[in-house]
Amino acid sequence: MKNLVFIFAFFLSFTSASAQGWQWIGPDTTMGQIQKLEWIRGNKDGLVAITSEGLIKHVSSARWTFLLRNKPWIPPNQFDYVHWIRQGQFDSRKVFLGTSGGDFDFEPRLVVCSTDSIDWGPVFWRGIPWPNYYAMAFENAPGRNIYANLHGICRSVDSGITWTRLAVPVRTYQVDEMSVDSQSRFLYYVYPSQLYSYDLQKHNEQFLFMSPIAGPINKYSFVCEDEILVFGVPPIFVNGGGLFLSKDRGTSWERVIESSIGALYRSQWHGPIFAGSFGVIYMSTDRGLTWRVFNNTLPSSLIISMVQIGDSDTLAVATRSGVYKVYRSVVTPVEHSNLILPRSTSLVGIFPNPFNPGTTIVFNLSRRSHISLNVIDLLGREVAVLYDGVKEMGGHTITFDASRFATGIYFCRLSADGVVQTRKMIFQK
């Protein structure tokens, strides 16, 4: 009788989840906390996940198996951990693993293996101990170069066998997210709450964006397509995150979703973009310009990773409570939307402040307006015009790079919709 009750309860829960367009597929908590999902193509197609215990693969239903198990202690003093995984975009037989190990020092390593035999080696790169940040990006153009953070941004022209360091500042060893635009002109990367671009032709770096509330231990995500950039900010403090959009390669920004974003995913160039929040998946089909709710029936945990399952229309979505297959759009009525509609025009703030050399200015517009955003010195002289033109209703951000200015106190002045507001900002070299 108890077995019948259990089966009936399971059937009800499965039926309810199916009606909401998703299904929980594990894994068991003994396999660790999910950190990242990846779909591996090849003779052994499958969904894999990096967890706090190692690398696991989905077998069927809610069953998973270990491909690599972390080795926290191997006598005499050996450690092995897997932190990160990417499959080769143009050579799908290769899988890149970011691992660490060694004698007490957790030496970071880049391991290249085949899809048929995922193992701890061979090691193609070794770095100095700590910290262990990994990121990789593939060109979409004929050159097909690969870029990776290997204690600094490096490029490979031979499918990851050898690497050459680019002339990018050494602080980029902390980069944990990276992408190349569709023309292979700009390389974008996050360090660790700031977005930068690197011109691959002119070989110079440009600061683009800083999260309104910086948090180096939090995971930021972004996607780029030509001049359009979408930057997801996770929860740091209450109401600290959101989804930010730039239509001009990072010169100006607007906040388009208020809810904190734990993951962004796009399966292919010009394909739909998905943004994961607390139990809600948003979708954009126009490169990030407009967004709608795709599914808001998931459990309320923050979505931390997403990936498309093969060539299907199904998404695998990871939260702290496990992995879900989301196979259709289901939207239930809610009292309010997280798509921002400001009630008043205001100069929200300047983050960070004091700053060196760049900062982000955040402001809201209650309606479509002609705005003027200027920087003024202590003598009242206008020293920079950051924007002079029309902006749509919503939340916006514009970056200010003060590297050519003298250290000191300046004022940011916003004039919009009959409102003039000023805030003090301090530039400290």
Burial of 349 (0-12, 13-18, 19+ CB in 10 A): middle
pLDDT tens digit string along 309-321? 887 778 999 998 8
CA-derived radius of gyration, the chain:
23
Write phi, then psi, for 219 (nearest 5 degrees): -90, 120
Q: Is residue 170 helix, strand or coil?
A: helix
Confidence of residue 108 (pLDDT cuts 50, 70, 90): confident
Question: Does pLDDT of 60 surpass 60?
Answer: yes
Gap between the Cα atoms of 12 and 52, Å rounded: 32
Of the chain, the percentage scoring pLDDT greater than 90 comes to: 22
Most confident of 23-32, 63-72, 148-157: 23-32
Q: Which two tokens stand for residue 8?
A: 């009936």
The residue that leads in pLDDT, 4 or 221, is 221
54-60, strands of its sheet edge to edge? 34-40, 46-51, 54-60, 63-69
204-210, strands of its sheet edge to edge? 177-180, 186-191, 194-199, 204-210
Task: Give buried/exposed letters for 113-127 (b at 16+ CB in 10 A, else e).
Answer: bebeebeeeeebbeb
What is the predicted pLDDT for the residue at 410? 96
Instruction: Note whether 260 and 302 are within 8 A (CB).
Output: yes
Q: Is residue 18 helix, strand or coil?
A: helix
Query: Can you tell me the mean pLDDT for 294-305?
Result: 87
Confidence of residue 239 (pLDDT cuts 50, 70, 90): very low
pLDDT tens digit string along 178-234? 888 878 889 998 876 788 899 999 988 888 887 655 444 446 788 887 788 888 888
Neighbouring C-beta atoms of residue 142, cutoff 10 Å: 6
- The structural domains of the chain, ordered by start, are 23-326 (2.130.10.10), 346-427 (2.60.40.1930)
Question: Does pLDDT of 337 surpass 60?
Answer: no
Question: Does pLDDT of 2 surpass 50?
Answer: no
Gap between the Cα atoms of 380 and 105, Å rounded: 54
Q: Please provide the average confidence, as pLDDT, over all residues in the chain.
A: 80
Question: Does pLDDT of 345 surpass 60?
Answer: yes
How many DSSP H helices and E strands does the chain contain? Answer: 1, 36
Question: Does pLDDT of 415 surpass 90?
Answer: yes
What is the predicted pLDDT for the residue at 8? 40
Question: Does pLDDT of 28 surpass 80?
Answer: yes
Residue appearing with tokens 């009630």:
343
Q: Which two tokens stand for residue 334?
A: 């809610």
pLDDT tens digit string along 189-201? 887 678 889 999 9
Handedness of CA 247, 250, 252, 254 (dihedral sign): positive
146-149, strands of its sheet edge to edge? 136-138, 146-149, 153-156, 164-165
Instruction: Note whether 391 and 368 are within 8 A (CB).
Output: yes
Residue appearing with tokens 């032709």:
201
Distances (CA, A) of 240 to 67, 214, 218, 233, 295: 37, 9, 12, 8, 22
Of the chain, the percentage scoring pLDDT greater than 70 comes to: 80
What is the predicted pLDDT for the residue at 241? 74
